[in-house]
Structure 1
Amino acid sequence: MSELSFVPLGVGDAFSARWYSSCLLVEASGERILVDCPHPIRKLLCEATSGSVDVGDVSAVVLTHLHADHASGLEGFGYFSRFVLGRRARLVLHPSVRARLWEGHLAAGMEALLDADAESPRDMGLDDYFELQSLDFERPLALGPFRIECRATRHHVPTTALRITAAGRSLGISADTSFDPELVAWLARADLVVHETNHGVHTPYAELARLPAELRAKMRLIHYPDDFDRAASVIVPLEQGVRVSV
């Protein structure tokens, strides 16, 4: 597949009883990357692709931030890559996100590894499981056929919005954020924009609904709450498991 497209593996928020947590499988020129990695990531991949895509078919995970509904699948992704695939998983993230990834998120479940013939576990670190690549606010990152740019969002923890370009098209992804007109303008330079909407410190639907019609037409909604009225929305909400061409 040479065109830039994506499949939403999940479209819900952290509290959803209807949808998996928000996550995108982005594809171009035969390569696939994940934007965020919630648990259970293999089940998400299997259900959204009818079993045609598994962890071994994913070139990299691009992580926007450390909240569990976006990062809880990393432990399983890392373990599967090491023990089943025999390789480190490629993980792409901004240094501000990486800063607490190990000590604040993964170490409790991954820092000790007991070999079959050993009496005690050996110490493990982030680099034992993941091949790390850094995003930069000033320079795009080349990742296979993808060119990835990033920008900070307004959220509780360090979070990066993304612009992903491949096959002559570009996809903007807001990640988690409160309403930020400057971020919206940055994303609007893409051919298609995936923007979150939710309650609290997230982006109110009403703010997005007031955007110019031409921008709303190329915008898709994600991370919406279970009570969101998808049928009444003036912006098309993404559907879990339904591929979108950019």
Structure 2
Amino acid sequence: MRLTVLGGCGAWPTADRGCSGYLVEDSGFRLLVDPGYATFPRLLGHCAAEAVDAVYVTHGHSDHCADLNPLLRARALAADPPPPLPLYAPSGALDAVLALDRPGMVAPAYVRRDFTPGESLAVGPFTVETEPLPHHLPNAGLRLSAGGSVLAYTGDTGPSPAIARLARAADVLLSEATYPHEVPEEDRPYLLTARLAGRYAAEAGVARLLLTHLWPGTDPATAVRAAVEAYDGPVEVATTGLTVTF
């Protein structure tokens, strides 16, 4: 299994960092996870639009799904359109982004596979266990398994014991870590700190922790230092272009 980071910036993209976006590959199958703002151009540096085999979106915030629109445009308006792209997302999460174009314009380019967080899915070579995790909108964290390898990803989430269950003994935990040490009071139920991400990584016994969704302007080294207060394994920030094979 190979994970390529297309972006990992929270809320909005910066000059050099797109928002959440991850390409996961196994056995020649390409799964695009959370195509947020400014991730589509990064995707094209790794594969053509028609080479994506499926898309998984954790929740409907635009920093996790806005660049689904240019991906679908590129496929729908191609001279030789590829088959419809399966879109896996919590029910209703993609309504807004799929309504950006005139009715029917990109409809031939996709087929919806809406689900309820907590369901298990089969996507290409991947077994996908989904987990409802607390956020402002329904959010489905995921545990991807293929060929004996496991990637766990939280999407955006607040504190929850379900995170450690989702990530149990995973090769990689890709965890939301919007703030290093403290979340503003109004968002504490819905977002994580890097320190908490480290604690969940330790509880789950994961082999590696990747911190993502850092608030724009956050010093990556500060986030890493906060995570290692609770976790003694390898810790990195999910920076654009980072590739992890496991």
Both proteins in one fold, TM over 0.5? yes
| 2:26 maps to which of 19, 25, 28 | 28
- CA drift at 1:167: 1.6
Q: For residues 242 and 132 of structure 1, what CA distance do their matches in structure 2 show?
A: 29
- CA drift at 1:181: 2.5
Q: For residues 93 and 214 of structure 1, what CA distance do their matches in structure 2 show?
A: 25
**Residue identity in the other structure for 1:219:** L
- CA drift at 1:209: 3.7
| 1:222 maps to which of 195, 212, 227 | 212
1:1-246 matches, within 5 Å, as 4-17=1-14, 18-47=16-45, 49=46, 53-84=47-78, 85-86=80-81, 87-95=83-91, 99=92, 101-102=94-95, 104-107=96-99, 109-112=100-103, 124=104, 128-137=108-117, 139-199=119-179, 200=183, 201=187, 202-211=191-200, 212=202, 215=205, 217-232=207-222, 233=224, 234=228, 235-246=235-246
3-state SS of 2:214 partner: coil
Q: For residues 206 and 149 of structure 2, what CA distance do their matches in structure 1 show?
A: 18
Judge conservation of contact 1:209–1:216 (CA < 8 Å) in 2.
Answer: no
3-state SS of 2:72 partner: helix
Instruction: Assess, with a 3 A threshold, how the Cα gap between structure 1 residues 203 and 31 changes in structure 2: closer, same or farther.
Output: same
Per-residue deviation, residues 212-234 of structure 1 (Å, max 9, x unmatched): 38847522111112333323412
Judge conservation of contact 1:16–1:225 (CA < 8 Å) in 2.
Answer: no
Corresponding residue for residue 116 of structure 1: none
Q: For residues 29 and 108 of structure 2, what CA distance do their matches in structure 1 show?
A: 24
Aligned residues: 223
Q: For residues 24 and 148 of structure 1, what CA distance do their matches in structure 2 show?
A: 15
3-state SS of 2:111 partner: strand
3-state SS of 1:227 partner: coil
3-state SS of 2:221 partner: coil
Instruction: Assess, with a 3 A threshold, how the Cα gap between structure 1 residues 126 and 94 changes in structure 2: closer, same or farther.
Output: farther
3-state SS of 2:76 partner: helix
Q: Tell which deviates more after alignment, 149-158 or 193-202.
A: 193-202
RMSD: 2.4
Q: For residues 228 and 30 of structure 1, what CA distance do their matches in structure 2 show?
A: 35
Considering only CA atoms, is the larger Rg found in Structure 1 or Structure 2? 1
Judge conservation of contact 1:33–1:62 (CA < 8 Å) in 2.
Answer: yes
Judge conservation of contact 1:12–1:22 (CA < 8 Å) in 2.
Answer: yes
Q: Percent identity?
A: 25
Judge conservation of contact 1:177–1:196 (CA < 8 Å) in 2.
Answer: yes
Q: Tell which deviates more after alignment, 63-72 or 210-219.
A: 210-219
- Structure 1: give runs of 5+ residues left out of the alignment: 113-123
Q: For residues 93 and 115 of structure 2, what CA distance do their matches in structure 1 show?
A: 15
- CA drift at 1:80: 1.5
3-state SS of 1:110 partner: coil
Q: For residues 74 and 84 of structure 2, what CA distance do their matches in structure 1 show?
A: 9
Per-residue deviation, residues 66-89 of structure 1 (Å, max 9, x unmatched): 111111112222222111151422
- CA drift at 1:150: 0.3
Q: TM-score, normalised by structure 1?
A: 0.80
Q: TM-score, normalised by structure 2?
A: 0.80
Q: For residues 115 and 129 of structure 2, what CA distance do their matches in structure 1 show?
A: 7
